[in-house]
């Protein structure tokens, strides 16, 4: 992933890539506190980083766990991506995910 894109969108990466930190000196920033099973969320983030659009999510691991496919897995993956966006201080990515939640609400039936 290009450092300039990360720095442009994320306060976390902006701060980590400058100053006296070892991450600022090297080409790699390790995310020690990110769940090692976060590959789906990271893929969503990288896709968004280069396109500024959220991809359709196909998560076979989620399908297996929930014994279901489709919207539940999409929702869970986006929720985890939102948490990642919050953790890495990426407001535009957070906003894109939040907007996708709103866009996914079925307005055809009123519930109040």
pLDDT in tens, 14-51: 888 787 766 666 667 777 777 777 788 888 898 899 99
CA distance 95 to 86: 10
Q: Which two tokens stand for residue 38?
A: 């976060």
Answer positive or negative: Cα dihedral of 56, 59, 64, 65. negative
Q: pTM value?
A: 0.73
pLDDT tens-place string over residues 83-107: 999 999 999 999 999 998 887 666 6
At 11 the pLDDT is 92
pLDDT tens-place string over residues 78-87: 899 999 999 9
CATH number at 3-103 = 3.30.710
Please, which residues have CB within 8 angstroms of residue 63's CB and are 6 or more apart in sequence? 69, 73
């Amino acid at each position: 992933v290009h450092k300039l894109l990360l720095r442009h969108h994320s306060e976390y990466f902006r701060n980590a890539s400058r100053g006296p930190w070892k991450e600022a000196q090297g080409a790699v920033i390790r995310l020690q506190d990110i769940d090692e099973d976060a590959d789906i969320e990271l893929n969503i983030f990288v896709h968004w980083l280069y396109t500024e659009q959220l991809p359709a999510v196909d998560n076979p691991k989620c399908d297996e766990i929930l014994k279901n496919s489709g919207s539940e897995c999409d929702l869970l993956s986006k929720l985890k991506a939102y948490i990642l966006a919050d953790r890495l201080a990426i407001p535009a990515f957070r906003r894109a995910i939040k907007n996708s939640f709103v866009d996914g609400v079925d307005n055809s039936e009123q519930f109040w």
